[in-house]
Structure 1
Amino acid sequence: MRDIVDGLLAWRAAGLRFAVATVVHTWRSAPRQPGAAMAVNSRGEVLGSVSGGCVEGAVYAAAQEVIETTKAQKHTYGVSDGDAFEVGLTCGGTIEVLIQPDSALTGLDDVLAAIAAGRPVATVSIPDAQLVVWPAAVEGTLGDAELDRAAAQQAAGLLAHGRSAIVTACEQEVFVQSWAAPARMIVFGAIDFAAAVARIGRFLGYRVTVCDARGVFATAERFPEADEIVVEWPHRYLERTEVDERTVLCVLTHDPKFDIPLLQVALHTPARYIGAMGSRRTCEDRLHRLREAGLSEAALSRLRAPIGLDLGARTPEETAVAVAAEIVALSWGGSGAPLTDLTAPIHGPSLSS
């Protein structure tokens, strides 16, 4: 919906009724991904697209019905397993589209304003209801308190990574759409451990950057899972790149000439996670050097070193799992203890409304 938000704001300002059709699920070679949206107003005007032209006519007609009845509809378009649906996609794929009236979209003005301003927000939709999940609050209801709680937790996880998806909450499928750029993972040090960390970072939904001053090592061939390769002194790159409270920084160089100036910058950023690789002796020496450089104990308390949880890891891949586990635990308040040893709920408390 990000690409049609300006038009929707204009329709709201004009007092027009409308319906929004959103792709919630795709199979095979669908032309648009989940989250693609098309809107139709009471004047018959259209914004956006759900299929690049294949099924827009059918969606347009359904949207007009939704505007008239104020009742949401869900339609499947395409051909799958020999069953023909209402309209075929020329690409051979199948899409599922949820069409909702504007009156069913909880907190619509606030959601549109947030999308336009680039502020993070997620919605959880079922045909006749919607939940809005903000970084620290939940608005609306899906009609059941337990479903609200479970769906809000799922949405919070997807929002943290800027992802949209069909998820199952309380044995019911719901569509979560989030508006936030993927969180960043910046891996410093083009070593074999970095390749494994980059790979698991991508798997977790981060936009991954690998940075090293040595161009012979920092190459796309060695780091195919990275979204970006930067050949530059790490501290200089960190000084000029965007770091926010969702960013995770993994310092794997374990070389003082790189680590010390880099961590002096890193520990003054709002990054959610800052971890540095090294033996106990290396980490103690690093802390000593950082204290000599003037960093406070409060700043140093943010540093996770040695990096990762104690999993007994040996290989780069196992180490990457240990690093990822620590990042997830820190992000959501997990203890890192075996669940079998705990009696508390597996998931933390739901977000407060």
Structure 2
Amino acid sequence: MLELAHELLQRFKTGTAFVAATVTHVNGSAPRQPGASLVVDADGAVLGNVSGGCVDSAVYQACEEMLLGNDWARTVTFGYSDRDALDVGLTCGGTIELILHHLDPSLEPELARALADAARDKPVAVAMVVRGPERCLGRMIIVRPGQPSIGSLDNTHLDQAAVVQAIAMLHAGRTGTVELGVADGYCQEPMTLLVESNTPAPRMLIFGATDHAAALAGAGKFLGYRVTICDARATFAAAERFPHADEIVVDWPHRYLRVQNLGGSAVICVLTHDPKFDVPLLTAALRQPVAYVGAMGSRRTHEDRLVRLREAGLTDHELERLHSPIGLDLGARSPQEVALSIAAEIVAHRYGGTGAPLRNAAAIHHEGFFPDAVLQGLDVGHDPGISHTSSHSQEPG
């Protein structure tokens, strides 16, 4: 539900009851992941989706039925072996499990607070029972860093276990399920919790106030980053040139970067294409515990840059982190196309993608992991993912 925080807050303000259908488990090629929600309110309005269109109409109907009935929480499953699912179009070879939750805003003030935190990009996690004793189904605990938890699942020991799990998921920036077993002593029946985590948007720092930077800022914003444009030249760093940037900074890039507190989810894109900016900036950037560092330039520029960076004291291990020339090989020419290639490389790097056509790929979805070096300084953000290198033909240099 947290992904729909802004919209759901309006339902709380008007007191409009709704049913939220939230993905709790997927198997195979189901297109949405745990935490994705479709919401149907008492006025018939619909928000979000849980399948990219495959079974949304059937889920919508199930939500409408719950709005008219007495159930307040139940689970449903659609899969490729389920004839009803095939009838409504889930032919992608996956299984999707959901929990339907009937919510009355007047009875859920703490959920409203959690949604408000998520809408303001504050860290908050909601742990909900999605499998287990029927009396517990749909119960929630809300966790915020440094504050007492709110809500109860069933008993004190179970609540404490849920809080520990929710805090761990929140600090990892993850949404997903966790299992609590009978052997743990927390519950008399096995129980599954869905933990939805909302963490501050990861940062994208773009250095160089160019047309390519303007296009990349739009792509970064689309991907959910908080975008900063930094350039030492005030004439070029004009607000009207970068409508998608969250902030525009006029400063020497390396000086600005050195005072930033960045963590494992941040990405740095160096588009200045000028040694007097690039060398001190990349020297600082490649020693930051960030997810991705890329720099624009031709292969000749890159080779010259590597010489300068080694002279500045960077090791081969540090230089291996540099994605240059930046982006995937899409044959891009325009600033918008180059921005797309850079954004594509960032996504591939995060999830371990290869950049190859999916028709030739063994798997559509890749599972990322936390490298040990990143885990040690991980911020509350997104998975850094797996490192891959690629090339892109850009400006002559």
| TM-score, scaled relative to structure 2 | 0.53
Q: Deviations over 1:295-338 (max 9, x none)?
A: 11111111111101111100001101110111111111111111
Deviation at 1:215, TM superposition (A): 1.2
Contiguous gaps of at least 5 residues in structure 2: 19-37, 46-63, 69-100, 109-137, 140-151, 182-193, 371-397
In structure 1, which of residues 199, 215, 220 is the aligned counterpart of residue 239 of structure 2?
Answer: 220
- Give the 3 Å change call, closer, same or farther, for CA 121–227 of structure 1 in structure 2: same
Give how far 1:114 is off: 5.0
The question of 1:119 aligning with 2:171 is answered: yes
Q: In structure 2, give the amino acid aligned to 1:103.
A: L
| Cα distance in 2, alignment partners of residues 97 and 351 from structure 1 | 35
Once residues 289 and 272 of structure 1 are traced to their aligned partners in structure 2, the CA distance between those partners, rounded to angstroms, is 23
Pair 1:24–1:76, CA change in 2 (3 A):
farther
Instruction: Show the counterpart of 2:15.
Output: 55
* 1:313 pairs with one of 328, 332, 337: 332
Q: Tell me if 1:108 matches 2:162.
A: yes
* Identity %, equivalent residues: 49
Quick one: which amino acid aligns to residue 153 of structure 2?
S
**Residue in 1 that maps onto 2:144:** none
Runs of 5+ in structure 1 lacking a partner?
Answer: 1-21, 27-31, 37-48, 60-73, 87-94, 125-130, 133-138, 142-174
What amino acid maps onto 2:164 in structure 1? Answer: D
Q: Aligned partners of 1:293 and 1:299: how far apart in 2?
A: 12
Q: Which residue of 2 aligns with 1:148?
A: none
Letter matched to residue 12 of structure 2: S
1:347 maps to 365
Deviations 1:122-155 (A, max 9, x none): 445xxxxxx24xxxxxx469xxxxxxxxxxxxxx
Of residues 178, 189, 202 in structure 1, which corresponds to 2:197? Answer: 178
CA distance in 1 between counterparts of 2:273 and 2:292 reads 17
Per the TM alignment, residue 51 of structure 1 is displaced from its structure 2 partner at its CA by: 1.5
Matching residue's letter, 1:109: V
Q: Matched residue pairs, number?
A: 240
Q: Find out whether 1:329 has 2:348 as its counterpart.
A: yes
Partner secondary structure for residue 185 of structure 1: strand
Letter in 1 for 2:171: R
Instruction: Provide the C-alpha distance between the structure 1 equivalents of 2:166 and 2:289, rounded to a whole number of angstroms.
Output: 27
Q: CA separation in 2, counterparts of 1:51 and 1:208?
A: 30
Mapped partners of 2:40, 2:360: distance in 1: 45
Residue 283 of structure 2 aligns to a residue whose secondary structure is: helix
Change (3 A) 1:198 1:110: same
SS of 1:322's equivalent in the other structure is helix
Instruction: Note the C-alpha offset of 1:76.
Output: 5.2
Distance across 2 between alignment mates of 1:232 and 1:119? 32
**Residue 80 (structure 1) shift:** 4.1
CA contact (8 A) 1:208 1:227 kept: yes
SS at match of 2:209: coil
- Indicate conservation of the 8 Å contact 1:55/1:77, yes or no: no
Once the 2 structures are TM-superposed, how far is the Cα of residue 341 of structure 1 from its aligned partner? 2.0
Q: Aligned-pair distance for 1:33?
A: 3.6
The answer (yes or no) to whether the contact 1:198–1:208 under 8 Å persists in 2 is yes
Aligned partners of 1:201 and 1:186: how far apart in 2?
10
What displacement does 1:220 show?
A: 1.7
Partner SS, residue 331 of structure 1 = helix
Contact 1:25 1:96 in 2 (8 A): no
**Mapped partners of 1:50, 1:306: distance in 2:** 47
Partner Cα distance (2:39, 2:298) in 1: 57
User: How many Å apart are 1:178 and its aligned residue?
Assistant: 2.2
| The structure with more strand, counted as a fraction of residues | 1
Instruction: State how 1:205-216 maps to structure 2 within 5 Å.
Output: 205-216=224-235
Q: Relative to structure 1, is the Cα distance of residues 96 and 218 closer, same or farther in structure 2, using a 3 angstrom cutoff?
A: farther
Counterpart of 1:234, as a letter, is: P
**Closer, same or farther: CA 237–345 of 1 in aligned 2, 3 Å:** same
Q: What is the DSSP-based 3-state SS (H/G/I as helix, E as strand, rest coil) of the residue aligned with 1:330?
A: helix
Matches within 5 A, 1:57-206: 77-80=41-44, 97=103, 100-101=138-139, 102-103=152-153, 107-111=161-165, 113-114=167-168, 119-124=171-176, 131-132=177-178, 139=179, 177-206=196-225
Contact 2:2/2:196 (8 A) holds in 1? no
Residue number among 280, 304, 322 corresponding to 2:299 in the alignment: 280
TM-score of the aligned structures, taking structure 1 as reference length? 0.59
User: Which stretches of structure 1, 4 residues or longer, exceed 6 Å deviation after superposition?
Assistant: none
SS at match of 1:253: coil
Give distance in 2, aligned partners of 1:217 and 1:186. 16
Q: Which amino acid aligns with 1:346?
A: I
Task: Give the SS at the match of 2:217.
Answer: helix
Structure 1 residues 349 and 195, CA gap change in structure 2 (3 angstroms): closer
Task: Give SS of 1:295's match.
Answer: coil
SS of residue in 1 equivalent to 2:325: coil
CA distance in structure 2 between the partners assigned to 1:33 and 1:221 by the alignment? 29
Change (3 A) 1:293 1:200: same
Query: 1: CA distance between counterparts of 2:265 and 2:197?
Result: 15
Please say if residues 24 and 97 of structure 1, whose CA atoms lie closer than 8 Å, have aligned partners that are also in contact.
no
Q: Cα 1:200–1:76, aligned 2, differ >3 Å: closer, same or farther?
A: closer
Q: Which residue of 2 aligns with 1:17?
A: none
RMSD (Å), alpha carbons: 3.5
